[in-house]
Structure 1
Amino acid sequence: MAVQISPSILAADFARLADEAAAVPNADWLHVDVMDYHFVPNLTLGLPVVEALRKATDTPLDCHLMIADPDRWAPQYAEAGAGSVTIHAEAAKAPIRTLREIRSLGARAGLALNPATPVEPYEDLLGEVDMLLLMTVEPGFGGQKFLDVVLPKVRRARELIGRHGGRVWLQVDGGVDTGTIERCAEAGADVFVAGSAVYGASDPVAAIDELRAAANRATS
């Protein structure tokens, strides 16, 4: 598994997003948390900001839609230039159709699960996704403490992915830092969203390098 780091701009300075994107040239992705104040109790940003970011950075955008109607909106994020669009299983009414539409528009399709949502019922959808995202905090706010209770689910997800050929990326999001990333990597995750651990650091580039090294140590 190749370790990938996706810094979350939720922890960045929203008044300087282009500069904040440029501050992490060694990132594999730029994680964009889209919240609508319905699915989660927070409101962040939407399509116009994604379109602007796409023009401002060469780093591919990893859009995580924490919204109430992803079936309607997800394809538009792919059309806006997102490299990856992730919808929540808890919110999607027609996940297979939506995931296939995301893919048809040239983006990677992701499916996200909240901490209390079991992974087993979604095993049959693994053929429809490029990435499975397991939330390691309750969605809606940055800076939360990592939930260790999710680690067994990460291991089960890795087993299920292996059963289906192992091509699906396994992403974790929430409370990821140098103290938790090794446990996540050891459990089977290979894509890591980090907000405060990167944008709260004095040197975001060095912070990404440290996170990547810690994850690689756990899998070497």
Structure 2
Amino acid sequence: MLNERPLYVALGDSLTVGVGSTLFQPNFVKLFHHDLEVYYQTPIERRVFAKNGATTAAILQSLSRPEVMEAVQNANFITLTGGGNDFLKAGKVWLKTGDFSVVLQATQQSLSHFDQMINQIITIHSNRPIPLMIRVLNLYNPLFYIPETNRWLENYNQRLLSLERYPAVQVADIYHAFSGHESQLLSFDHIHPNPIGYRVMAQATAALGFELTPFQTSTTFN
């Protein structure tokens, strides 16, 4: 059952902000929001809490803000993007120094932060246990021309699937949706998606379906 006033909350980084799209073209959040409204045939409120350049640590920290907690508590639908900035920072260090340990550290920290995010979202939402759907988007590779980076992200994205052990959580496979088509889907900065790329992201996320999971406060989330 939908909330009386259904709410979609989008959390994340520049991909949730929509950096790389154009003024008159919808970004991922607007496209996915439209898909939700078409599926449920009802108006759905949208709230966005995202910042360009945000790391997974920053997104996790944002969940402690009162306005974010209030939105998460009342949401039926949540999408979550993150991790790209963690890897871009680590990748720059690796390219300069050859030190692979920074990439391993970024992987571990990002996965840990995502796990904490989901735990925190579920804890906050338990104060108002309405049906819930959480979609986490995995990472495409803007550095696809560097072979090593594909191996890193394939490993990372595979491990990110462990989040699906939580009720209501599914991971959208953006990596394979972009793989081999990066030149057509990335914007002029070669990092963020262009409008077509954002549409591909929304399609890959929508492909998981829109069904809500009944929320049970007695469920053990670990």
> Highest CA radius of gyration, 1 or 2?
2
Give the TM-score normalised by structure 2: 0.39
The structure carrying a bigger strand percent of its residues is 1
The structure carrying a bigger helix percent of its residues is 2
Higher relative contact order (CA 8 A, sep 6+): 2
